Amino acid sequence: MVNDPVAEKDRDVDVTVTIGESGSPTHAFMAYEVKHEKAPLDLVKIEQLCLKLNDMPSLTHRAIVSTSGFSAPAKKKAAHHGIELYEFRAWTRPLEEQFPALAMKGTIEQCFPTRNALLCWKWFQFQLELEDPGVGFSINPSDQLFDAEGRQHGKYSDFSAYASALLLRSTDILYRSEAAQSVLLRFPIPFSMPDGAIPSGPEWPHTHTLEVAKDDVFAMIGQRRLQIVRFTIGGFLYWERDMRRPQHHVIQHVDTGEVFAGALVCQGGIEGQMTALVFSPDSREIGIQLVRLAEKHLNSIRRLQMQLQSSSERFPPAAAHSFTASSS
């Protein structure tokens, strides 16, 4: 948020960078409006963004980043207002042309090959413990879940959604364990399998108990609403190769072609989690960023996605990732 004295309020800017002393920000240094549109940003859109940025005098650097480019009139308008324009492009040019400080030759994919392994559950069963341990019960995947006030749970609408989330939570914890890492080192995942099957390693039995009282999840057992306090998963774990390719992007100045930054992004095994390597054109330093989207952002994405299949009677494979990037 950056203060707009004309509007007399703080206004949202997509990306801001602040400089501070002793942990306290002193001033906003840069502001970027990042736009993802199908068509190049036109004159009207750019003029609106320029006026917004120029109404914030605390900013010392103003720029707009687009994934779809800019129209010719839009470029002229931005130049008139002193706003820099950048494009978000696929990173295809050799490193020596845009990132000479790295002293490497070849594309980002050639110089930084990545391996992403997923720890997965299979043939699993669940054992639940309620706040009243003496109650016998059974829960179906489609059974609705509630919060403490009896409302439908805001995060887990039914048991299927909750179980899937806990499978992922489990592997997110277990993939760091000595046992899981030992299997990954002793039995490397093959790069290919017969008949196009996803490459995977050997399975081993495991049981994992999660304390889940903080989730505030309740189930209707007969006429009573009881809290789920403990969730045990029993089954087999195995490592699987993630066949998704990482994304390589670069932010490039529209007029000069100068590179602002490059990024290698790998999706995690858990929804909304990514690992990014961030490259500067002026340094050999590489930043490693772990990205985790907030729940409100995930909900916005989910609302835009089509429901491809019902999850009422099946649980998808659950996986957390182990990410490795190596430079050649």
Domain limits, the chain = 2-90, 91-328
Position 162 scores a pLDDT of: 95
Q: Does domain 2-90 have CATH number 3.40.1350.10?
A: yes
What is the predicted pLDDT for the residue at 2?
Answer: 47
Q: Report residue 133 CA to chain centroid gap.
A: 38
291 in Cβ contact with 276 (< 8 Å): yes
Identify the pLDDT of residue 9: 53
CA distances from 321 to 19, 27, 171 (A): 33, 37, 8
Token duo for residue 77: 């308008």
pLDDT at 128: 92
**pLDDT value at residue 33:** 53
Q: What is the predicted pLDDT for the residue at 21?
A: 46
DSSP 231-252: EEEEEEEEEEE--PPPEEEEEE
Q: What is the pLDDT of residue 161?
A: 92
- Positions in the chain short of pLDDT 50: 1-2, 6, 15-22, 24-31, 305-318, 320-328
